[in-house]
Amino acid sequence: METFLILSVFVVAGLVKGLSGLGLPTLGIALLGLMLPPAEAAALIALPALLTNVWQGMRGGFLLPLLRRMAPLLAGIVLGTALGGLWSPDPHLARLVLAEALMLYAMLGLLDVVPDMPPGLEPWLGGPAGLMTGMVTAVTGVFVLPALPYLQALRLPPTQMIQALGISFTLSSAALAVSLASRGALALPQVGLSLAATLPAIAGMVLGGRLRPLIPLPIFRRVFFVCLFAVGVHLLLA
């Protein structure tokens, strides 16, 4: 029964990613966190997140220019994930950090906060944003903060933004997988279930892509962030 529920989570998370271009790791971690400790949830999400984001990051035609522009952010993500992996908080504390990260991300989305990038500071802010993102990733398995607000502040065209998210999430997924493996948290049973979860995640993405034209994006985003905030509150109080 638990395996069925876990695979169902990946269908739902894939559906959200197919609709919006993001959300598979965030929603997946949030829902899995209701059943599993954050470290186990992160181990299960690692491979589906990596494989789906590789596909997203390769599409768009701006791979090399975006890699050059995002280099400080990406380097910070790798370093931050490595440093965060050295800290092993107890599951209760990790759950609290995850709840707060989800609630903050949801509030930013509900308030439609899009920060402005001060002129000339983009290269200098990329490294610290990546470092903080990597550390949050290592502890919670969620890699949207503060990388997503940083990328939004760049005001990229939609196609480049989707590809930039895919690049950032791909590297975060890979760094998280390496960190988990180095700590022994990505053992063979988790790898097998994580690989199995990739298929329902892709099925959800395909379904989400087909439903995307039928659902107004502003309404979907609001419902998504409200649900995410509610999950964060539940984790905080559990």
Q: How confident is the model at residue 190 (pLDDT cuts 50, 70, 90)?
A: low
**Helix (H) / strand (E) containing 13:** helix 2-20
Task: Tell me the two tokens of residue 194.
Answer: 């994580």
pLDDT at 213: 80
User: 3-15, pLDDT tens digit by residue?
Assistant: 888 889 999 888 8
pLDDT at 100: 85
Cα(210)–Cα(85) distance, integer angstroms: 38
Report the domain count for the chain: 1
- Identify which of 2-6, 93-97, 170-174 has the greatest average pLDDT: 170-174
Cα(235)–Cα(214) distance, integer angstroms: 32
User: 108-160, pLDDT tens digit by residue?
Assistant: 888 888 778 887 899 899 999 999 999 988 888 788 888 988 998 998 887 78
Question: 23, 20, 21, 27: which is closest to 9 by C-alpha?
Answer: 27
Cα(178)–Cα(194) distance, integer angstroms: 14
Q: How confident is the model at residue 189 (pLDDT cuts 50, 70, 90)?
A: low
Q: Is the pLDDT of residue 206 over 90?
A: no
Q: Which domain holds residue 118?
A: 2-237
Cα(32)–Cα(170) distance, integer angstroms: 20
pLDDT at 188: 57
Q: Is the pLDDT of residue 187 over 70?
A: no
